[in-house]
Amino acid sequence: MGANHFILWFWKVSFPAPFICSIVHSNSNISLIDENRELIGSAGAMEQIIQAIKVHGTSLHVAESATLILRDLTENADKKVSIVWLGGIACVIGVLRAFLDSATVCENACAILLRLAYNNDTNSASIGHEGGIPPIITAMTKHHENAAVCQWACCALWNLMLNNMTDNRKMIAQYGGITAIICLLYTSR
C-alpha cells in the first residue's frame, strides 16, 4: 500500500476527522494530485471534512486544513456538486466568519466560494443568501496587504456579482464592497 493509499485508509477506519485533516494537509498537499482527489471523494472524505468543520469549528488548525483540502477539491466539477450538496457553502461561510484573522483560512475560503460561484447562478445566489458576501469583504479589508487573499476575495465578489446580478450587486454595495475594492486599488500602487 502506497503512502497515499495508507493515509486514505484512515478515512475508512473512522479516525477522528481533525486528525485526518491534519495528516492529509501535512502530507505535501496530497489532495492536489488528481488520483488522490478521486480517492478522497470515493472514501467519503468530503463528508468527514465538512463534518470536521461543523464539529471542530473552533480549531484554527482544522479550519486551515479542511479549507485547504476543500479548495483543492473544488477544482473538480463533480466534487463541487458534492460539496454543495453536503452543505459546504454554509460550512465554508461559517469558518470564514469564525477565522477572519487567519489569512490562510480567508484565502482558502474565498477561493472555495469563488470556484463554487463560477458560472453557477444557483450557488452564487446561495452564497449571497447564506451571508457570504460580508465576510469576503471583511477578509479583503483585514488582509489588504496579502495579495493572495485580496485576489481570491475580489474574484469571488466578481463572480458573485456576475452570476446573481441584482441581489448580490446590492449586497456588495450595501456591505462596503465597492469602497473596499477602490481602497485596495489605491493601496496596491
Distance CA 88, CA 132 (A): 12
Whether pLDDT at 54 is above 70: yes
**What average pLDDT score do residues 37-62 get?**
79
Tell me what pLDDT residue 47 has: 85
- Per-residue confidence band for 115, with pLDDT thresholds at 50, 70 and 90: very high
Residue with the larger pLDDT of the pair 104 and 39: 104
Distance CA 45, CA 57 (A): 17
**What average pLDDT score do residues 20-41 get?**
54
C-alpha grid cell for residue 147? 495579495
Per-residue pLDDT tens over the stretch 77-88: 988 999 999 999
Mean pLDDT for the chain?
Answer: 82
In a 13 Å sphere around the CA of 104, the CA atoms on its Cβ side amount to: 11
Tell me what pLDDT residue 156 has: 96
Whether pLDDT at 170 is above 80: yes
**What average pLDDT score do residues 42-67 get?**
84
User: CA angle, corner 74, sides to 24 and 162, nearest 5?
Assistant: 150
Distance CA 151, CA 129 (A): 23
Three-class secondary structure of residue 114 per DSSP: helix
Distance CA 118, CA 23 (A): 29
Q: CA nearest 155: which of 102, 99, 116?
A: 116
Q: Give DSSP secondary structure letters for 49-77.
A: HHHHHHHSTT-HHHHHHHHHHHHHHTTSH
Residue 72: other Cβ atoms inside 10 A: 23
Least confident of 110-119, 121-130, 132-141, 177-186: 177-186
**What average pLDDT score do residues 56-73 get?**
90
**What average pLDDT score do residues 81-104 get?**
96
C-alpha torsion sign, points 64, 115, 124, 169: positive
- Per-residue confidence band for 38, with pLDDT thresholds at 50, 70 and 90: low
Residue 50: other Cβ atoms inside 10 A: 21
Q: CA nearest 117: which of 133, 138, 134, 97?
A: 133
Q: Could you tell me the CA-to-CA distances from 37 to 20, 69, 92, 94, 148 in Å, in that order? A: 15, 9, 19, 24, 23
